Amino acid sequence: MVNAHPPSANADSHPIRKILVVGGGTAGWITAGVLASRYPRRGEEGISITLIESSQQPPIGVGEGTWPTMRATLKQIGVTETDFLRECDASFKQGSQFVGWMDGSHSDAYYHPFTLPVGYEERNLAPYWLEDPRGQSFADSMCFQTGPCSHGLAPKMITTPEFTGLANYAYHLDAGKFGPFLRQHCIDKLGVDHLYDEIVRVEAKEGGDISHVVTKSGETLAADLFIDCSGFSALLIGKHFGVPFLSKKDVLFIDKAWAVQIPYRVEDAAIASVTRATAQSAGWVWDIGLTTRRGVGYVFSSGHMSEDGALEELKSYLGAGGDLSPDLSFRKIDINSGYRQEFWTRNCVAVGLSAGFLEPLEASAIVMIELSAKSIANLLPSCRGGMLEAARLFNDTYRYRWERIVDFLKLHYALSRRSDSRFWIDNRTRESIPDSLSNCLEFWRDHCPWHEDFSHREEVFSAASYQYILYGMGFQTRPAPWLLNDTDRNLAREKMNATALHAKALAASLPGNRELLSKVRQYGLQKI
């Protein structure tokens, strides 16, 4: 790694005026959009943002599941929800459904919805569900959203204003269309400069900062801050700075994917409002519904199954749904599970796949891009001198966030009782489960997850998400009636009754996902 002397006093007062974003995939365009909307261009006065991407190296083209944070991100960047839905073939996503993760039996399925459990804003009512589940799953009892999820409904009506909903929601989007959509907006409306060229050399200043990059066509691009969104090639953070990559393969075994696009058999086919994750013998299959097609793929561990074996298993999944046809084109993707030892080094920050990737379970990659872009915007110092502290803060936060994501993803495997293949058995070995997760699981035997269980205020996965996964997968927290009280017990009953009624009312009034999306195409949503 290039390690260098601290910049001189002169360098310290050098203003941060030029930002170069390297890479035009989802990470590059979200980051450029967030920064450009936060620091609007003011001629010679403001900050200039340039994005360079290589036309020879297309973006990865997968990554279709998002989080509700995307609504705020799009709003901040200044696009309308109607344009986004129409141009990115996007649909509404209300959570995830995990099929076959517990024991692989016929009825093995549960939801992780986006709406918080009832009462969550004030109290932890999970212990009262545990005391008396009334024959219902945790998610069904504590969240009205499982109703709309299981019926493929939209989270809103055509009259509900843009970016607001009757239930918390995110999107499924066409990754191949999202980048170009943001590109157009960033160039036309936010003043981002753009060029297609390939970086072939990175030049450093005395002291170690990057001074400029040189492109294939011979251009020299200088900047004060470089944002590495170059995907798995990690051009700046990896190849130039040599920041070590911390592999997590010993915890999360997934290292390959087969991806395929499935056309709908009929034009007005229903569109699922969840990402469906179906367990297989060496990983799991994702199934995402867009307006024009489905995106399906098998992420698997090559240590547990050959590429050919995984392809056959994916084909069986498709065949079972009547979706296997000879003209499907399957694409193989290698996944290196892990993240960088640091993300911001000297005058360079890595965002997106260059910073790390684990696996797409719970779609945590794009949300990390959104969070990183906002953190960079919030921490951006006026001069180079402030960058050292900005980098320290950023690295501390994101190291913690990546570690927490590893734990949360591993939780899904650690709780499984499947023993039908080595993949599932190996996933439960003591040495593959991080101590941080083992300690929590031990604690949660005697305590329902709650905010104070985590050390940071803004957790990527809140206690609510842990509750949905733990109790969805049949985890047992020991009953402790001496810790319960009648006031909260009555409140829990009231809320659970109201949840059931609310779910029924929504099922009767919400349009189907497809129905609303067709209306959006025709009429558009009401602007805010």
238 binds ligand FAD (CB under 6 A): no
CB-based contact 122:490 (threshold 8 Å): no
Compute φ and ψ for 237, nearest 5 degrees: -70, -35
Q: Which is nearer to ligand FAD, 23 or 155 (CB)?
A: 23
CB 354 within 8 A of CB 230: yes
The count of chain residues that interact with ligand FAD, using the rule CB under 6 A, is: 38
- Cβ 200 to ligand FAD shortest distance, Å: 7
Distances (CA, A) of 152 to 64, 292, 507: 18, 16, 10
Cβ at position 154, least distance to ligand FAD in Å: 20
Closest CA to 193 of 49, 31, 34, 33: 49
3-class DSSP state of 2: coil
Position 60: which residue type? I
CB 523 within 8 A of CB 511: no
Is the Cβ of residue 212 or residue 428 nearer to ligand FAD in the bound state? 212
Nearer to ligand FAD, 233 or 302 (CB): 233
- Judged by DSSP in three states, 84 sits in helix
Site for ligand FAD in 249-308 (CB under 6 A): 257, 259, 297, 299
Which positions from 152 to 171 touch ligand FAD by CB under 6 A, shown as an x/- string? --------------------
For residue 103, what is the DSSP state? S
> Of 102-141, which residues contact ligand FAD (CB under 6 A)?
none
231 near ligand FAD, rule: CB under 6 A:
yes
Token pair of 369 as six digits:
């891009």
Q: Give the H or E element holding residue 140.
A: helix 138-142
- Which of 117, 283 has the CB closer to ligand FAD? 283
Starting from the edge strand earliest in sequence, which strands make up the sheet with 95-99, in order?
Answer: 109-113, 95-99, 275-279, 283-289, 293-300, 256-263, 331-334
* Chain mean position to CA 143: 22
Beta-bridge partner residues of 228? 22, 350
Positions 336 through 395 that interact with ligand FAD (CB under 6 A): 352-353, 357, 360, 363, 365-366
Least CB distance to ligand FAD at residue 385 (A): 29
> With respect to ligand FAD, which residue has the nearer C-beta, 233 or 421?
233
For the CB of residue 22, give the shortest distance to ligand FAD in the complex, in Å: 6
Rule CB under 6 A: which of 10-69 touch ligand FAD?
A: 22-28, 52-54, 57, 59-60, 62-65
Where do contacts with ligand FAD occur on this chain (CB under 6 A)? 22-28, 52-54, 57, 59-60, 62-65, 175, 198-199, 229-231, 233, 235, 257, 259, 297, 299, 333, 335, 352-353, 357, 360, 363, 365-366
